[in-house]
């Protein structure tokens, strides 16, 4: 029984290769990494990140689920909304396909020193350790209980990276410099501390809270506290970075809505490049498409704080737009028109520059006409005792 997982891991590596994993070193690592060791709890999620199913798996089910291309929730919190208790995921083992995409974007070489932000159960950290050696890996998580559990999971696999319980927004100055920094929680902006913790030639790969964008930034050779780059063509959706003392909020309870029809094609609203544009242009807005199993779009939901606008596809008829709370539809229409006027730019035309005093996303040229500014974020220097 001890070795019954090997065939599953090899099969996962084969499937990831079929989906575009090309780097032979990473294929080898995936084929030998025991993902089931990072799945002590068994749960699945609905579209809002609510935990909907917590069942005990037997060994066969554990292996089947662990090596499927699925997120596995490993920790959740219960929050109250309108008198209801809702369980919200606060840590998970990410979907292997997105893990593979991000590791490949990281362009890791032998001997690289790596900082991971968002240890979770530790599967990613295990892959990194297997690739560069555990003494080269530092991994941070804001939840000290998550770090403790990850340490146990990793030790069972013979890996002992440097684990830190604390706010990854601060980076890990006493272990810097790093050749690579990878985040596995979504960021509203790149923390100002990170570029200065990169070694020459260093790279950051991080999922953003807008547009499912995966930022890939390289240290600026002329300014060691700056980094610049752009976004990968693939998308990735992660739980948002939190800070100490900040509780995860529950989805808002539904209110009555007002409805009208639109002539707009809802498929266009889900174009990854438009989603990036829209979520940059309207800060805080999130776009959530819903599809059937065979990939047919049935609805697109736009949310901003407690407000929701739902666009439902109505076969053979114009889609129905229902606005709950403050209306968001006008912003969507305005930005779709602006995106068209600008030539429907794809993700490859967006760039991202991070400096200690300023960070901004730009189209085609860092000094060009189309820019989105981010206020520098003040992260409090707080760490939890390991
Ligand atoms: C999707 S999970 C990480 C997945 C993991 N890397 C894996 O092996 O699949 C995201 C993690 O980010 C952590 N996190 C959230 N905010 C953080 C912060 N400010 N600093 C460090 N970790 C954070 C959460 O506690 C959670 O465990």
Condensed to tens digits (0 to 9), the pLDDT of residues 116-149 reads 999 999 999 999 999 999 999 999 999 999 999 9
Q: Which atom of ligand 1 is nearest to the CA of 169?
A: 19
pLDDT at 60: 87
pLDDT at 382: 35
In this predicted structure, the answer to whether residue 315 has a pLDDT above a threshold of 90 is: no
Do 106 and 182 contact (CB within 8 A), yes or no?
yes
Angle between helices 24-32 and 96-106 (to 10 degrees): 140
Q: What band does 83 get if pLDDT is binned at 50, 70 and 90?
A: low
Q: What band does 294 get if pLDDT is binned at 50, 70 and 90?
A: confident
Mean pLDDT of the chain: 87
Q: Is 290 a catalytic residue?
A: no
Enumerate long-range contacts of 309-318, CB under 8 Å, 24 or more apart: 310/257, 311/262, 311/264, 311/266, 311/269, 313/266, 314/261, 317/261, 318/261, 318/262, 318/263
Indicate the helix (H) or strand (E) that contains 83. none
Please tell me the pTM assigned to this model.
0.89
- And the tokens for 43? 């749960």
Q: What separation in Å is there between the alpha carbon of 173 and the centre of ligand 1?
A: 19
Q: Which atom of ligand 1 is nearest to the CA of 168?
A: 20
In this predicted structure, the answer to whether residue 293 has a pLDDT above a threshold of 80 is: no
In this predicted structure, the answer to whether residue 290 has a pLDDT above a threshold of 90 is: no
Q: What separation in Å is there between the alpha carbon of 143 and the centre of ligand 1?
A: 8
Q: What separation in Å is there between the alpha carbon of 124 and the centre of ligand 1?
A: 11
Closest CA to 215 of 196, 188, 175, 176: 188
* Ligand 1 near 248 CB (within 6 A): no
Pocket perturbation via mutation, ligand 1, pick of 142, 161, 172, 381 by most ligand atoms within 8 A of CB: 142
Q: What separation in Å is there between the alpha carbon of 333 and the centre of ligand 1?
A: 34
In this predicted structure, the answer to whether residue 49 has a pLDDT above a threshold of 60 is: no
Q: What separation in Å is there between the alpha carbon of 117 and the centre of ligand 1?
A: 6
* Ligand 1 near 241 CB (within 6 A): yes
* Ligand 1 near 117 CB (within 6 A): yes
Condensed to tens digits (0 to 9), the pLDDT of residues 227-256 reads 999 999 999 988 888 876 555 555 555 567
* Ligand 1 near 146 CB (within 6 A): yes
Q: Which atom of ligand 1 is nearest to the CA of 38?
A: 8
Condensed to tens digits (0 to 9), the pLDDT of residues 316-363 reads 889 999 999 899 999 999 999 999 999 999 999 999 999 988 899 999
Condensed to tens digits (0 to 9), the pLDDT of residues 51-77 reads 555 556 778 888 988 999 988 888 877
Q: Tell me which of 94, 249, 290, 315 is the catalytic residue.
A: 94
* Ligand 1 near 147 CB (within 6 A): no
């Amino acid at each position: 029984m001890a070795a019954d997982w090997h065939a599953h891991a090899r099969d996962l590596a084969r499937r990831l290769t079929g989906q575009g994993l090309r780097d032979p070193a990473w294929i080898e690592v995936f084929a030998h990494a025991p993902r089931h060791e990072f799945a002590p709890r068994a749960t699945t999620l609905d579209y809002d990140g609510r935990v909907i199913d917590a069942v005990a798996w037997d060994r066969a089910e554990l292996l089947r689920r662990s090596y499927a291309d699925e997120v596995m929730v490993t920790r959740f919190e219960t929050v109250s909304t309108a008198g209801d208790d809702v369980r919200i995921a606060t840590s998970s083992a990410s979907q292997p396909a997105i893990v593979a995409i991000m590791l490949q974007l990281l362009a890791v070489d032998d001997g690289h020193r790596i900082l991971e932000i968002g240890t979770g159960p530790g599967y990613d950290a295990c892959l990194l350790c297997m690739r560069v050696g555990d003494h080269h890996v530092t991994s941070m998580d804001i939840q000290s209980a998550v770090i403790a559990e990850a340490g146990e999971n990793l030790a069972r696999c013979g890996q002992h990276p440097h684990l830190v319980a604390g706010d990854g927004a601060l980076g890990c100055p006493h272990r810097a410099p790093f050749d690579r920094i990878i985040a596995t929680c979504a960021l509203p902006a790149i923390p100002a501390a990170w570029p200065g913790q990169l070694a020459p030639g260093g790279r950051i790969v991080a999922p953003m809270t807008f547009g499912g964008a995966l930022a890939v930034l390289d240290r600026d050779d002329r300014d060691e506290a700056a980094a610049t780059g752009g976004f990968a063509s693939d998308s990735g959706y992660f739980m948002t970075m939190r800070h100490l003392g900040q509780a995860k909020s529950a989805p808002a309870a539904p209110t009555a809505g007002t409805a009208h029809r639109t002539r707009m094609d809802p498929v266009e609203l889900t174009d990854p490049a438009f989603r990036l544009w829209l979520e940059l242009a309207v800060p805080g807005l999130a776009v959530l498409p819903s599809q059937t199993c065979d990939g047919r779009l049935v609805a697109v939901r736009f949310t901003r704080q407690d407000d929701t606008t739902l666009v439902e596809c109505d076969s053979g008829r114009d889609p129905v737009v229902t606005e709950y709370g403050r209306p968001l539809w006008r912003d969507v229409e305005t930005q779709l028109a602006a995106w068209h006027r600008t030539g429907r730019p794809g993700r490859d035309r967006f760039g991202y520059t991070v400096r200690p005093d300023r960070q901004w996303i730009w189209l085609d040229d860092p000094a060009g006409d189309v820019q989105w500014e981010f206020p520098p974020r003040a992260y409090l220097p707080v760490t939890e005792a390991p």
